Structure 1
Amino acid sequence: MVTVSSTVEKYREHIQSLLNERAKLVWDRRIQAQTIFDPIHDHYQLVYVGWRDSTRVYGVVLHVDIVDGKIWIQQDGTEVGIANELVELGVPKTDIVLGFDSPRMRSHSEFAVG
């Protein structure tokens, strides 16, 4: 049986809590915020689905993975940035990878390269 470190378990809790809180902020009743959690493979997403008049609304707002004990932010369409919220919760910047940036750009940030 594979054991999960308490750090990774805490990261899962933080990510799920932040995505659930973000999902509550949808201002348009025609748009549904769906949280998708796969804690077995450590994939987490917040997706918007719906219609605004005759325009289809669909998109991944947040996509976060946990890979080798680090939090990989694959997509972040928020203003505040989930990386900043994770840091406020006590996650070290060395455990957060901005996966949406190229590896070369990551080396210029305060966060992990990968």
Structure 2
Amino acid sequence: MDKLTEYPQLIKRILTEYIELCNRRHNQEIETFLIVDELKSHYIWMNLGWQNGERIMGMTVYVRLQNGKFWIEEDWTENGIATDLVRAGVDQEDIVLAFHEPKMRQYTDFAVVH
């Protein structure tokens, strides 16, 4: 797998599939979209809108590609984006659960990077 070309395409595909599912829901007042900075390899799934008179603005997933690894900075999905990446053939050593404190990463099945 050529990480430089395939990893960006893979994360965009996975997040786009989630966003398309979210946008099929009944609540049209909340927009779900993907923010991509291809130059710096940042991928953010955002939600924006109104619900019951309250402003909704939040990041569901934030993934960065850095040094040939997926750095999952934020992940509020049920099964985790890391699970989707592994199913797609990404080695667990190429996935950093960056939302975990560095000293706690050793207790996960994924890369330990400080």
For this structure pair, what is the TM-score category when the shorter chain's length is used for normalisation? over 0.9
User: Does the residue aligned with 1:90 lie in a helix, a strand or coil?
Assistant: coil
Of 20-29 and 63-72, more deviation after overlay is shown by: 20-29
Percent identity (aligned): 36
Deviation at 1:25, TM superposition (A): 2.0
Which secondary structure does the structure 2 equivalent of 1:9 belong to? Answer: helix
Q: 1:21 aligns with which of 17, 22, 25?
A: 17
What are the equivalent positions in structure 2 for 1:94-105 lying under 5 Å apart?
A: 94-105=93-104
What residue in structure 1 maps to residue 4 of structure 2? 8
- Residues 31-70 of structure 1: matches in 2 within 5 Å? 31-70=30-69
Gap regions ≥5 residues in structure 2 = none
Letter aligned with residue 11 of structure 1:
Y
Cα drift, residue 67 of structure 1: 0.7
Q: Deviations over 1:24-54 (max 9, x none)?
A: 1222211101100111100000000000120
* Normalised TM-score (structure 1): 0.92
RMSD of equivalent CA atoms:
1.2
Quote the Cα distance in structure 1 between the aligned partners of 2:11 and 2:68: 13
Q: TM-score scaled to structure 2, two decimals? A: 0.92
**May I ask how many residue pairs the two structures share in their alignment?**
110
- Structure 2: distance between partners of 1:94 and 1:78: 21
What are the Cα deviations for residues 76-108 of structure 1, in whole angstroms up to 9, with x where unaligned?
Answer: 010011000000000000000000000111011
Greater mean alpha carbon deviation, residues 87-96 or residues 17-26: 17-26
